[in-house]
Amino acid sequence: MQNADKAKGTQQRIKDIKEISIAIDTWDDIFSDFDPRPLSVRALSEDFIAELKKRYRETRKGAFLVSIYAPISLKNAESEKAVIQRLKKHFKHKFMQRQKDLSRIRKRGIVFVIMGICALGFLTVSTYFQLFKEITIEILGIIFMPLGWFGIWEGFSKIIDTSPILIQDKILFNKLSKASYQFKYIEEDKAA
């Protein structure tokens, strides 16, 4: 009974793993062909990243296994290791960058809310204690009332409703930085 439950759990975990398959002809399909540096530091191809994003959007849930199908002529254990490390490093960097961007937007939202509260607070205090002449308070009201409400609502908008694209990219890059990568080699067609 326990073995059956264990096998069922293993099958469920395997079912939760989504495979993204991509075929390449050369390393330039993964890396920028304009970058002559070694594979361990070479920039990734924008086309490759766009294809991974597209495939991710097709299968969002679960852990990812990225299978890269390549011609047998590219088979090289050191290159495989360098490519996998480079991909994980790149996606980890992008994840951290998106996390910083979201944090910066939310901090800016907090500043907007505080400035809005200060503007409305200043207007309330100056009206209540009649710190200025009535005409001056009316002019200040024209400036500080919309400024205060704009700051509050725009600030809350930045805090609560941050850019969905940034959030989606953050999730994507986090999953790709933790994904398993494997190379599968295919025989090249001699007849062609």
pLDDT of 110-153, one tens digit each? 999 999 999 999 999 999 999 999 999 999 999 999 999 999 99
29-39 tens-digit pLDDT: 999 888 888 88
Tell me if 192 is assigned to some domain. Answer: no
In a domain, 191, yes or no: no
Mean pLDDT over 3-17 rounds to 54
Q: What is the pLDDT of residues 46-80, one digit of tens each?
A: 999 999 888 887 766 777 899 999 999 999 999 89
Is 107 within a domain? yes
Total number of domains in the chain: 1
Residue 14 clears pLDDT 80, i.e. is over it: no
pLDDT of residue 2: 55
* Averaged confidence pLDDT in the chain: 88
User: pTM value?
Assistant: 0.80
- Tell whether the model's pLDDT for residue 13 goes beyond 60: no
- Answer yes or no: is 95 within a domain: yes
Alpha helix (H) residue ranges in 59-133: 77-128
In whole angstroms, give the CA distance from residue 113 to residue 27: 49
Beta pairing class for 180-186 and 18-23: unpaired
Does a structural domain hold residue 42? yes
For residue 21, what are the β-bridge partners? 67
pLDDT, average across residues 13-23: 75
Residue 144 falls inside a structural domain: yes
The Cβ of residue 105 has, within 10 Å, a number of other Cβ atoms equal to 14
* Domain annotation covers residue 44: yes
Mean per-residue pLDDT, 99-104: 96
Does position 181 have pLDDT exceeding 70, yes or no?
Answer: yes
Domain, as residue range, for 36: 2-186
